[in-house]
Amino acid sequence: MYAQEVKSTGKGVKSLDEMDPQERAFQERIDADIKIEPKEWMPDGYRKTLIRQISQHAHSEIVGQLPEGNWITRAPTLDRKAILLAKVQDEAGHGLYLYCAAETLGVSRDQMTEDLLSGKAKYSSIFNYPTLTWADIGAIGWLVDGAAIMNQVPIQRCSFGPYSRAMIRVCKEESFHQRQGYDIMIKLANGTNAQKEMAQDALNRWWHPSLMMFGPPDDQSVHSAQSMAWKIKMNTNDELRQKFVDETVPQAEYLGLTVPDPDLKWNEERGHYDFGELDWNEFYEVIKGNGPCNRERLEARQRAWTDGAWFREGLVAHAEKRASRVAAE
Ligand code: BYC
């Protein structure tokens, strides 16, 4: 049954008949929507895929604080500053739940951090673009958090218990993030000409990178078929991208802004918007480390890790001292 749900190529996905009894029983539980919990048996590939995806997601939350954190001291009013501060703190919280969810699979926080800093583990391509104006904070909340919600709401139903439960909480907070971004855009789009131009310029720069957040086109997606069979991913990259375009274009129209795509057109027959081809070379360059801010982002994380060493050492020394005192009592 699960094989029919895999809408992409399905290549490399075993059928139930090809599985040994243990793997088959595991797949049948997934097909029946029974959650898998950390201590239960799972195929190695399932564990590795979850560690890859959850840690990439956690790193994205943490690195994602950098472009927005850049504007906390320059937010235009006290209210905007308090709201942005709360949002950026929420992202830190999301990163922490997600690192905890990945740790239940047997990987340590130190290992995940090393993999991020060495470039082995990825984080979302979107955070390698700069935030040049205040309108970029609006565009990130509206488009980037909007894309994140589109991707993450279905993952609330994913097969791995800790990831699914983390997503339920994360999605509630992401909805507030998206609303605060759209609220900034409403104010700017209804402001002076200069403010409206700033909003349009932010939309021009963030639109295409936001669409790329959903990952490569389905025919180039390496992991989709197997991840969907395991219900680690619930939709293909192209399905979510289309859903995002369909929901976001009317929001841009409400703002009186123009989506920067001459090929964007409502297709009555399909019941969806058609949109132009994305520059996939740009996407692959960004995820290879050659985007506008990749180096800056990793340097900032490296600095935070090095600067925090004394604190981590202090925590370990304190825990060891306490443990030996308890043992002596
Ligand atoms: N950026 O086979 P595919 C957020 C990689 S929002 C970088 O389709 P998969 C936030 C992919 O890892 C963002 N790399 O992969 C929002 C793979 O390479 P590896 C975080 C990407 O995993 C606002 C290769 O390309 N959300 O946190 O099936 C404020 C082939 O792709 C990207 C999540 O992570 C990308 N955009 O699908 C603050 C959600 N796209 O690993 C924070 C959970 C693809 O083999 N993740 N690649 O070296 C997912 O749903 C999936 O991992 C993806 C990719 C849809 C992203």
Beta bridge mates, 274? 265
pLDDT of 4 strictly over 50:
no
Pocket test for ligand 1, best of 145, 173, 223 (most atoms within 8 A of CB): 223
What is the residue-wise DSSP string for 200-245?
HHHHHHHHHHHHHTT-S-GGG-SSHHHHHHTTSS-S-HHHHHHHHH
Average pLDDT taken over every residue of the chain: 95
- Percent pLDDT > 70 in the chain is 97
pLDDT of 297 strictly over 60:
yes
DSSP 15: P
Rounded CA separation 109/121 (Å): 13
Rounded CA separation 306/184 (Å): 35
DSSP 160: B
Task: Give residue-wise pLDDT tens across range 137-154.
Answer: 999 999 999 999 999 999
Rounded CA separation 160/263 (Å): 39
Rounded CA separation 74/238 (Å): 36
Q: pLDDT at position 228, please? A: 97
Mean pLDDT calculated for residue range 302-323: 95
Residues 6+ apart with CB under 8 A from 234: 154, 155, 157, 158, 228
Nearest CA to ligand 1 atom 51: 53
In which band, very low, low, confident or very high, does the pLDDT at 12 lie, cut at 50, 70 and 90? confident
Q: Please give the structure tokens belonging to residue 227.
A: 């991840």
Q: pLDDT at position 5, please? A: 39
Q: pLDDT at position 11, please? A: 65
Q: pLDDT at position 7, please? A: 41
In which band, very low, low, confident or very high, does the pLDDT at 329 lie, cut at 50, 70 and 90? confident
Which one, of 30, 32, 22, 2, lies nearest residue 14 by Cα? 2
* Cα atoms found within 13 Å of the Cα of residue 14, Cβ hemisphere only: 15
Beta carbons of 47 and 103 less than 8 angstroms apart: no
Mean pLDDT calculated for residue range 84-97: 96
Crossing angle of helices 161-189 and 237-255, in 10° steps, is 20
Nearest CA to ligand 1 atom 5: 215
Task: Give residue-wise pLDDT tens across range 222-250.
Answer: 999 999 999 999 999 999 999 999 999 99
- The number of the ligand 1 atom at minimal distance from the alpha carbon of 49 is 22
Beta carbons of 94 and 124 less than 8 angstroms apart: no
Mean pLDDT calculated for residue range 199-227: 98
The pTM of this model reads 0.94
Q: Please give the structure tokens belonging to residue 118.
A: 């060495």
Q: pLDDT at position 72, please? A: 97
Rounded CA separation 204/152 (Å): 24
pLDDT of 69 strictly over 80:
yes
CA of 321 to the centre of ligand 1 (A): 41
Task: Give residue-wise pLDDT tens across range 128-138.
Answer: 999 999 999 99
Pocket test for ligand 1, best of 55, 122, 178 (most atoms within 8 A of CB): 122
pLDDT of 213 strictly over 70:
yes
Task: Give residue-wise pLDDT tens across range 177-204.
Answer: 999 999 999 999 999 999 999 999 999 9
pLDDT of 274 strictly over 50:
yes
Q: Ligand 1: which residues within 6 Å by Cβ?
A: 52-53, 56-57, 60-61, 64, 91, 122, 124-125, 144-145, 148, 151, 212-216, 221-224, 227, 233, 237, 287
DSSP 106: T
pLDDT of 1 strictly over 90:
no
Q: pLDDT at position 10, please? A: 57
Residues in the chain: 329
Beta carbons of 27 and 16 less than 8 angstroms apart: yes
CA of 233 to the centre of ligand 1 (A): 11
Beta bridge mates, 266? 273
Task: Give residue-wise pLDDT tens across range 161-172.
Answer: 999 999 999 998
